[in-house]
Chains A and B, each alone.
Chain A
Amino acid sequence: MDEKITVRAQKIVKNRTKFKMIVFGGLAVLVILIASLAPYLTPYDPYEQDLSIALQPPGGSHLLGTDRYGRDMLSRVIIGSQTTIFSALLLVAVITCVGGAVGIICGYYGGKLDSFLMRVSDIFLAFPGMVFAIAVASVMNGGVMNAAVALACISWPKYARITRSQVMMIKHMPYMEAAKLSGSGTFKMIGKHVVPNIAGPVVVTAVLDIGTMIMEIAGLSFLGLGAAPPTAEWGSMMSSGRSMLQTSPWVILAPGCAIFLTVVIFNLAGDTVRDVLDPRE
């Protein structure tokens, strides 16, 4: 409001955004790298049980302590990142593509197909988030992939909505008319003119959703609807450590902080992506 918009001020904002992009983007890439190289980074075998060293507090040779079967917590947190982060990333990618495709079809063609698909998305939006995910996951008998499918069911309509409104906004722009008049076919129109022009807001939503999805996948696993116990997954690790909260809180704290830090990093990266692609504020 009261800040003067000068070339200098704009440059400062731009440089600051660039700096944030490098730092937070770098951190996000680092987290993904850790997740993909997880099997090589664990100091111990995350599944090897040794009851003689069960429930050791953090410090010493086991940096984050051990759980009730004597498994190294650090190794389990590292290997657990794979399940949680990759399923969240895959989930966001899938719902962006599916929701985006539905949105483009609805916005571009309009008519009866549009109203039908929008009514269908209304129905999915009528369920309060986790309620429907819980139902789907419980019918499909758990498993991380099924938890992801359950979350995909409730999340695609949001993307369809955003994409649709974006497509409708640009549909009658002069460049669209020009492209049509110069004889571009439907695929060329969508691929070359629609997608690049609407991608910004959709990508911003997607990146900002990664953190939320990590929390929700972990939440379903916490309820026993995601990863099954022997698999190291942050949510289910916390769930199985619940009874030891009083005596050995690190069993909960380690995966909990891992979720928190990962979500913070992806949210910061998401905020920065928004600043870059959608500089409205």
Chain B
Amino acid sequence: MKNYIAKRFLLLIPILLGITLLSFLLTNSGASDVISLMEANTGRVMSEAEKSRLRADLGLDKPIVQQYVVWLGKVLTGDMGKSFVSGKPVFSTFLSKLPATVYLTITSILLTVVISIPLGILSAVRRNKIADYLIRFLSFIGNSLPNFFVSLLLIYFFSLKLNLLPVMGNSAGWKSVILPTMTLALSMASKYTRQVRAVVLEELGKDYVQGAQARGVGEKRILYFSVLKSSMLTLVTLLALSIGSLLGGTAIVESIFMWDGVGKMAVDAITMRDYPVIQAYVIWMAVIYVCVNLVTDILYHYLDPRIRLGQEGA
């Protein structure tokens, strides 16, 4: 187990280097000249001498490899430069917006669990019955709706027609989180319900279930005490793996609902061509994603006695 964790952490290093290198090359690819962008964004005309001085200040006259190393050193110390637009340090802006996104992610996950686990189990138990077909049909529909369309439909019905919920912003307390949460949970629950169904079905087909049935153990008891217990680990892992993608997938929904998180920050930065902000968003979301997945993987290996004991015994 210790060896496994050490190995996974070692593998993390080239991936993190790759993430930073890719993000660096992307935003420094020459498709955009930083200086002229700054000129355009601040609206201040600079002379050629001033431009070359700025270039030297930012280290843009040095070879690209050297630029990368210097830049990476800064990133590691939390210095990701200043926003072209607001002039504020990018990293602290990112940190200040992160809680809103995490909050939205957590509420969406909770709603997903509340919807998916019961529906997935019901669908598996009533396999090929009306309930199963209905649930599968709904999850199919949910999978085929793009989240920006769902957002707009929800706004139309709940905010504009029924006047129940606020349209945008996270100022109205708990009420404002409902619609973005519903949007994000709909697509996630559609996928997750299918996974729950598949996992429970697989577990139901195992020999011990037949054995328990033969011994006269009640169906409910088998379902809740044996089947659910043994499929829980897989279910939790699948859910945890989707946390990362959810964190990264909030951008469109956040910007529609004016939810003041990192996703909206990134979308705003795109319209303003504010590259340091985009860079910070890409790098840190990737790092969070990789770390969440890594922790999930390690926990999965740790919690599964077959794998844990098997490796220690060997």
Contacts and interface: CB of A to CB of B under 8 A. Distances in A.
Interface stretch (B2-10, B46-54, B218-226, B280-288): B280-288
A80 B171 CA distance: 37
Nearest to A130: B249
B153 interface: yes
A139 B286 contact: no
A128 B270 contact: no
A224 interface: yes
Contacts of A211: 144
Interface string B267-288: 1011101010011011001100
B286 A219 contact: no
Interface string A223-259: 1110000000001001100100110010010001001
B156 A130 contact: no
A129 B245 contact: yes
A219 B146 contact: yes
A185 B247 CA distance: 48
B15 A135 contact: no
A123 B252 contact: no
Given A128-B289, A224-B271, A267-B143, A135 B278 contact: yes
A247 to B, nearest CB: 10
A252 B289 CA distance: 33
Given A135-B23, A245-B160, A130 B152 contact: no
Nearest to A241: B152
B200 interface: no
7 contacts: A127-B285, A128-B249, A135-B23, A215-B146, A223-B255, A259-B146, A259-B149
A135 B273 CA distance: 11
A245 B289 contact: no
Interface of B: 14-15, 18-19, 22-23, 26-27, 29, 31-32, 127, 140-141, 143-149, 152-153, 155-156, 160, 204-205, 244-245, 247-249, 251-252, 255-256, 266-267, 269-271, 273, 275, 278-279, 281-282, 285-286, 289-290
Contacts of A222: 148, 252
Given A119-B18, A128-B249, 6 more contacts: A126-B15, A219-B146, A222-B252, A256-B146, A260-B146, A267-B144
B19 A123 contact: yes
Contacts of A249: 156
Given A126-B290, A264-B144, A134 B14 contact: no
A134 B263 CA distance: 10
A139 B252 contact: no
Interface string A85-126: 000000000000000000000000000000000011011101
Nearest to B279: A135
B249 A134 contact: no
Contacts of A235: 148
A91 to B, nearest CB: 16
A28 interface: no
Interface residues of A, number: 42
Interface in A166-216: 211, 215
Contacts of A129: 245, 248-249
Residue from B155, B204, B252 whose CB has the most chain A CB atoms within 10 Å: B252
A218 interface: yes
Contacts of B149: 238, 252, 256, 259-260
A131 interface: yes
Contact of A223 (B204, B205, B267): B267
Nearest to B157: A249
Contacts of B141: 264
A245 B282 contact: no
Contacts of A267: 140, 143-144
A123 B22 CA distance: 9
Contacts of A119: 14-15, 18
Contacts of A126: 15, 18-19, 286, 289-290
A135 B15 CA distance: 18
8 shortest A-B CB distances, which residue pairs?
Answer: A128-B248, A123-B18, A215-B146, A256-B149, A131-B248, A263-B144, A138-B270, A135-B282
Nearest to A242: B152
Contact of A138 (B155, B205, B247, B278): B278
Contacts of A264: 140-141, 144
A3 to B, nearest CB: 8
A219 B144 contact: no
A128 B247 contact: yes
A245 B155 contact: yes
B248 A130 contact: yes
Interface in A48-85: none
A138 B37 CA distance: 14
A131 B251 contact: yes
Contacts of B285: 127-128, 131
A139 B160 contact: no
Contact of A122 (B18, B26, B127, B281): B18
Nearest to A128: B248
A216 to B, nearest CB: 8
B184 to A, nearest CB: 12
A140 B29 CA distance: 10
A1 interface: yes
Residue from A122, A134, A246 whose CB has the most chain B CB atoms within 10 Å: A134
